[in-house]
Chains A and B, each alone.
Chain A
Amino acid sequence: AQKVTQAQTEISVVEKEDVTLDCVYETRDTTYYLFWYKQPPSGELVFLIRRNSFDEQNEISGRYSWNFQKSTSSFNFTITASQVVDSAVYFCALSEASTGNQFYFGTGTSLTVIP
């Protein structure tokens, strides 16, 4: 079974629009960690954020914000006032205390910001 689901395969928005990327996870652990990574066209994977299962406080970093809701097993990522440089594939990932430091990645959401 897929532990991390990113249902949105591709999203296109016009520059300056807000966009939310969805991530739904599945785990039986009470201790787990969630991550977002960005893969720009150049190809490398860049770490964006980590949250642990005990901290549901939302986080904002500039135009980026993350909404963690255990009740719906979701860890959504919102980009406010999108820019062309935000065009990339975004991956959500999960690691569980019971499986050590192994990462489970979603299939990614390809975001295109149109100027």
Chain B
Amino acid sequence: DAGVIQSPRHEVTEMGQEVTLRCKPISGHNSLFWYRQTMMRGLELLIYFNNNVPIDDSGMPEDRFSAKMPNASFSTLKIQPSEPRDSAVYFCASSLLAVGTEAFFGQGTRLTVV
């Protein structure tokens, strides 16, 4: 299997612009997670989906952030408008929907907002 695929790998955008990050989970996995990693705050869970339904979005920092999962093989994380403090590495991960199963991570999207 190809693993979790994220795109783009790198994104540089100007403050105020809309940014969309994309994720394709591992086929057959029905849980999907979005994390943000920064030096200051480490790995933060932003939101996760089970069977395409958002379960917990309490980690989404502001209304500027939104996530969707229209089907089992695709998810997006959108930031609008973007701000310099959104600069981070954003990871998508997927797992089977079963307690105790490991999550597999994509290679991340490094976002820089200037």
Contact (Cβ within 8 A) B100 A52:
yes
Instruction: Please tell me if the beta carbons of A101 and B98 are within 8 angstroms of each other in the complex.
Output: yes
Residue of A nearest to B48 (CB): A102
CB of A97 within 8 Å of the partner chain: yes
A91 at the binding interface (Cβ < 8 Å) = yes
A102 CA to B33 CA, complexed, in Å: 9
Q: For residues 66 through 114 of chain B, which have their beta carbon under 8 Å from a beta carbon of chain A?
A: 89, 91, 93, 95, 97-108, 110
Would you call B56 an interface residue if the criterion is a C-beta within 8 Å of the partner chain's C-beta atoms?
yes
Which of B91, B99, B107 is close to A101, meaning CB atoms less than 8 Å apart?
B99
B residues within 8 A CB of A33?
A: 99-100
Q: Could you list some 27 contacts between A and B, CB below 8 A?
A: A33-B100, A43-B89, A43-B107, A43-B108, A44-B108, A45-B91, A46-B105, A47-B102, A50-B100, A50-B101, A50-B102, A52-B100, A95-B99, A96-B99, A100-B55, A101-B50, A101-B95, A101-B97, A101-B99, A102-B45, A102-B48, A102-B55, A102-B56, A103-B45, A103-B103, A105-B42, A105-B43
Interface residues of B (CB under 8 A from A): 31, 33, 42-43, 45, 48, 50, 55-56, 89, 91, 93, 95, 97-108, 110
